[in-house]
Amino acid sequence: MTSFLRTVVAAAAFCLAASGAAGQTPPGFSNYLVGFLSRGTAEPGANAQELQRAHLANLTKMWEEGLLLASGPIGDSGDLRGLVIFRGDARAAIDARLAEDPLIKSGRLKVELKPWMGPAGIGDDYRAWAAANPGAPDKMRTYQLVLLKAGTNGAMTADEQRAHLANMDAMAKSGALISAGPILASGELAGLFFFAVSADEADRLAASDPGVKSGKLLVERHPWMVAERVMPAAFKVPMP
């Protein structure tokens, strides 16, 4: 098995179980690009507020162009400062826009794009609401973002994959897990969980994952703030 497939299997057995083969997208899911905005090496200067306004204007332009689907800051004090979700089929246009982003150009932010498979429809309800309510202020909501990272104990066994899938299904049916999916690239980061629960409950639920229990997956949680209606209220884990 290649390192790419090993990462996908470890992160999201549900995608492979539902599709039967790597590279296929299960019903109800779409391919996205997720951007991880992290702290850069440049120090904030006198023009920090001006650059921040220009950065937000750039994100707004990308949303107006239909490239950006979700965007929000990370609410803790680590190096990860924001998470953005883009369409998965417009990499060249997204790269061009990000290359001109004032905070990225200045070195105050860094961005890393990763292909991600997640529930279809991210951003759709918010876009419809915004069109029907022009000028209305956003109401922000905090979700618990859990990064699933490859552990040191190898790939999950078939039994662990089935248990991983069943556990995700139970969390989704309870309404706690509102989005999840694999990172479709090799590397340390294997997948994402989005929880609509408290930080303590998200920690408990993430720790209950069979892959985490076995040490095949490691977790890193961050509070992520985004406008209401951006993320789906619920999603269905595709079962084999």
- DSSP for residue 101: -
pTM of the predicted protein model: 0.89
Helical residues (DSSP H) of 100-230, grouped into ranges: 102-105, 124-132, 158-173, 199-207, 210-213
234: pLDDT strictly greater than 70: yes
Query: Where are the CATH 3.30.70.1060 domain residues in the chain?
Result: 3-26+139-227, 32-132
User: Any alpha helices (H) in 2-109, and if so which ranges?
Assistant: 3-11, 13-19, 48-64, 91-99, 102-105
Q: Distance between CA atoms of 67 and 89, rounded to whole angstroms?
A: 9
Q: Where does 32-132 sit in CATH, by number? A: 3.30.70.1060
Summarised one tens digit per residue, pLDDT across range 33-69 is: 999 999 998 777 768 889 999 999 999 999 999 999 9
Q: What is the pLDDT of residues 167-220, one digit of tens each?
A: 999 999 999 999 999 999 988 999 999 999 999 999 999 999 999 999 999 999
CATH number among 1.10.3210.50, 3.40.50.970, 3.30.70.1060, 3.40.190.10, domain 3-26+139-227? 3.30.70.1060
